[in-house]
Amino acid sequence: MSFGTETTFDPISFLEDAVQIQSHEDVTAMRGLLVQTLEAEGVPVEVDGAGNTIAVRDSGNAGPHVVLNTHIDTVPPHVEFSRDGDVIRGRGSCDAKGPLAALLAAFLTVEPERGKVTLAVTPDEETDSTGAAALDFDPEPDAVVVGEPTNLDVCNAAKGRFQATVRVRGANAHAAEPHEGINALRAAGDCLAALDSFSEREDAPAPSESLGAATLTPTTIEGGTATNQVPADCSFVVDRRSVPPETAEGFRESLEAHLRAHLADASSVGGDASVEVALAERDTPFLAAFETPTDSAVVRALADASGGEVRPFEAATEASYFAQSAPTVVFGPGVLADDEGAVAHAPREYVRVSEVEAAADAVEGTLQTLLR
């Protein structure tokens, strides 16, 4: 690394320490390592009321504000650390402590000639994203780089993720006299079949040029209370991967109207039942889809510095929040899955040392382009 200040920070040693810290239930120890690392490098650091770790390097001159963001929490269970040559294994190695190590290396090396760079690390991306929702930058960013495992590709778009529960209500009866009741389970079957035609309605969002079509997937189902009784209630959960410009409430209203119309046209078993759609309760907004133009300065700079492909990211991330106000990209070492199967969130989670170092160099080069 050649741009900026002298630093004693070793991203690989930091990563090895970080992967050994459990942060799937409580991020306190992991946040402590991050704060200690920043303070040891002489960088003022703040932990705000939402648990975000924030540090700033400001040139004192007018210029762009670039934000580097990732998260310190992981999914359960903890997976023990190990290293074999170029490969570091363990929970969080690629999602997202590897990306954190790379962003931190670039942040500690940079000495902006104009503008400033902010490191903002959130505590709960894998759950409710209360940290990201609480972030308030002054001034608003001109560009945001979100650290996630992208195989060093520059991901300028991602589908959103909404979750809703479809509840179908009928009427109980003895199973020996099923015609005396309204079978909510049978009606739920009609609703499940109707999911296949949801994308065919007139007001359905058109497929995105980069993200493709939205998807709608049923994931869990519950119904009935006795094996000899016509069930009066049945519910199932759906996972919506959205594309712009669909909103969570717009999706809920459209799905409810679609299912009600389908039940009205279905058999008497389904037609007499009622259906309601409710979004999952959250204290923070759902992660909506986003698309950053490929000609944005941050996309061009990071693609040039990394040599990676510009493409969509496969999963929903907190980049959704930042993209509402600034050009945002997702970037980092590691992969969500490889030829053998799942990597992130899986027992075999790993990241390559060489990719962490390459990611750090690419982010440093991007900051050099944007802040010199």
How many residues does this entry show for the chain? 372
pTM for the full predicted model: 0.89
What residues in the chain have per-residue pLDDT under 50?
1-3
pLDDT of residue 267: 60
pLDDT of residue 308: 97
| Amino acid at the residue 136 | D
CA distances from 147 to 94, 162, 172, 291 (A): 10, 22, 52, 17
The tokens for 42 are: 């002489």
pLDDT of residue 369: 96
CA 318 to centroid of chain Cα atoms: 5
Beta strands in the chain (DSSP E): 45-47, 53-58, 65-71, 82-84, 87-89, 116-122, 143-147, 154-158, 160-169, 173-174, 215-223, 229-230, 233-242, 274-279, 290-291, 310-313, 328-331, 337-338, 341-342, 350-352
pLDDT of residue 5: 57
CA distances from 307 to 100, 200, 314 (A): 20, 39, 19
Q: What angle do CA 95, 86, 15 make, to 5 degrees?
A: 40
What is the Cα–Cα distance from 178 to 172, expressed in whole angstroms? 9
CATH code of 11-158+290-371, in short, is 3.40.630.10
pLDDT of residue 238: 98
Which pairing describes strands 310-313 and 154-158: parallel, antiparallel, or unpaired? Answer: parallel
What is the Cα–Cα distance from 148 to 359, expressed in whole angstroms? 11
Residue 32: partners with Cβ closer than 8 Å, 6 or more residues away: none
Q: What is the mean pLDDT of the chain?
A: 95
Where along the chain do its domains lie? 11-158+290-371, 160-279
The tokens for 352 are: 């390559």
pLDDT of residue 3: 40
pLDDT of residue 205: 87
pLDDT of residue 127: 93
The pLDDT tens digits for 291-309 are 999 999 999 999 999 999 9
- Concatenating the DSSP letter of every residue in 192-246 gives HHHGGGGGGSTTPPPPBTTTB--EEEEEEEEE-S-TTEE-SEEEEEEEEEE-TT-
Chosen CATH of 160-279 out of 3.40.80.10, 3.30.70.330, 3.30.70.360, 2.60.40.10? 3.30.70.360
pLDDT of residue 125: 96
What is the Cα–Cα distance from 368 to 372, expressed in whole angstroms? 6
